[in-house]
Every structure is written in C-alpha cells, then in structure tokens.
Chain A
C-alpha cells in the first residue's frame, strides 16, 4: 500500500520523489498542453491516450499521486475511469480530477458525487493547476 506522503509542497512529494501525475486524454494537443502545465509546476507527468491504458499503468505503477482525465473519450469516459478507480481498493485513495470543454452542471455534479476531487473546464490554465497542488496525495 502507498506510504504517507511528505509535506505537500508543489512538485515535492515524499523526500526525494517528485509528485507523479497521470494525465489521460485522447487528444494529442491536450496531452501536450496539460503535460507542459504540470511539468512547469515540477510534477513528474505520464500521459496516456485512453482509460484502458491508464488502468494498465496504474496496475504496474503504484506511485501515482493524482489522475487528471478528460471527460469525453471514446471507449471509456473519464467518468467511467473515475468509477473504476474509486471502486478499487488499491486505487481509491488517488485523487481524480476531471477535465471537460463543456460546462454541464449535471455532469459536474455526477463526477463530484462519484468522488472526483475537482472538475476543470478546458482550456486548462496555470491557475487551475496551481489549485490542484493541495489536493495531491
């Protein structure tokens, strides 16, 4: 199981390990932008293009401090990914943030009710990323 993290300074996790964020988005443009945003806050970032790949990675790599995922993706939506993560005993502690280009209150509420940490409207800004700093595990 994951060990307690150190002080929540942005970029710094426990002692020597940078905070590791898993970014999930089927758009290569959005992946590039979110990765750049996160890396400029000194996070370690891994990007994948689907929920399926995200789950594969999570199965192999236990040290993910946050998942940030697009809502609308083919095959598996961000909401579906959120549900799977929250229903998993190994993964449920990892905060999940949803991104969407559409401001749909029902959608936002449903995600928050399912346990999403936050919901960001695209295009994502540096101030949005700064806000997430305190939510990392």
Chain B
C-alpha cells in the first residue's frame, strides 16, 4: 500500500539521520513541542535555522577569504553557527564547528580551510535530508502523526 511504503521511507530516513549522527536528542525535543496548536513547529524552526545558517556560512566564506584573515571575527561567526546548530540538534554540524573553532584559535589556516569544507558539506547534506524528511511527512499526512511519536 502506497502509504505504508511512504511511512517506511520516512522511518528509514529518520533513523539514518540519527544513526549517522546528523541529528541528536534535541531534534526529538523539538518534536515534543509540536502539537495541534503548532502543527508545523519543527519545520518552521528548521527553516529559520537554514535561513540563519546559510547567511552565516556566506559570512564565514567572506571572512576566510579576507586578507589578512581576522581569526577573531571568523571564530565569532563559527561560534554563532554552532549555537544555531545546537538549537535544532544538528549534532554533526556542531562537532564540525567545534573543530573549526579549534583551528581558528590556533590560527591554523590549512585546518580552517579543511574544516570549513566539512561544515559546508554537512550543511548541504543536512538540508537535503531534512527537505526530504519534511516532504515525506507532508505526503504521509495525518495518519503518520499518530505513529510518529514512536522513536
């Protein structure tokens, strides 16, 4: 049946997000806050996150290319990105940002460039996976909401 195949896809995608460490417990916390009064809360928050994080990634790109590089400003931007990621439970992004900040502190140019590539990659990956996730959620519809609370 169409709907149960979609539900399976949805469950698998969600499982992969957690198993692969893209998301952590905080994401569940956000889901717990969703209810009939705020039925799209998680998607709204995730949308806000990607709006902010895309801006931050662009600013980091500029800061990294600046000559001479201001590691203090760069670090402040990565800090903001990390904080934002932690609010939605984007665990891998948080880890990547932590490593990035360590290189900033050491003023290690090579390390910063490498970390930034990782951060950008995870940012894209996460965005794609979550877009997929919310699309599936919409398709599966209200029937899914009854079973979604199962972790």
Contacts and interface: CB of A to CB of B under 8 A. Distances in A.
> Is A bound to B?
yes
Interface in B54-110: 79-80, 82-84, 86-89
B49 A29 contact: yes
Interface stretch (A3-11, A13-21, A104-112, A119-127): A119-127
Q: How large is the interface on B (under 10, 10 to 19, 20 to 34, 35 or more residues)?
A: 20 to 34
Contacts of B80: 27
B86 A33 contact: no
A122 B45 CA distance: 16
Contact of A37 (B33, B82, B84): B33
A28 B56 CA distance: 13
Nearest to B33: A36
A103 interface: no
Q: How large is the interface on A (under 10, 10 to 19, 20 to 34, 35 or more residues)?
A: 10 to 19
Nearest to B50: A29
Contact of A36 (B38, B49, B51): B38
A30 interface: yes
Contacts of B41: 32, 36
B140 to A, nearest CB: 23
Contact of A29 (B29, B32, B45, B82): B45
Given A27-B52, A28-B48, A28-B51, A33 B32 contact: no
B2 interface: no
Given A32-B45, A123-B87, 9 more contacts: A27-B83, A29-B52, A32-B44, A32-B48, A33-B30, A40-B33, A101-B83, A122-B83, A123-B89
19 contacts: A27-B83, A27-B84, A28-B52, A29-B45, A29-B88, A30-B84, A32-B44, A32-B45, A32-B48, A33-B30, A33-B45, A36-B38, A37-B33, A40-B33, A101-B82, A122-B87, A123-B86, A123-B89, A126-B32
Closest 3 CB pairs of A and B: A29-B87, A101-B83, A28-B48
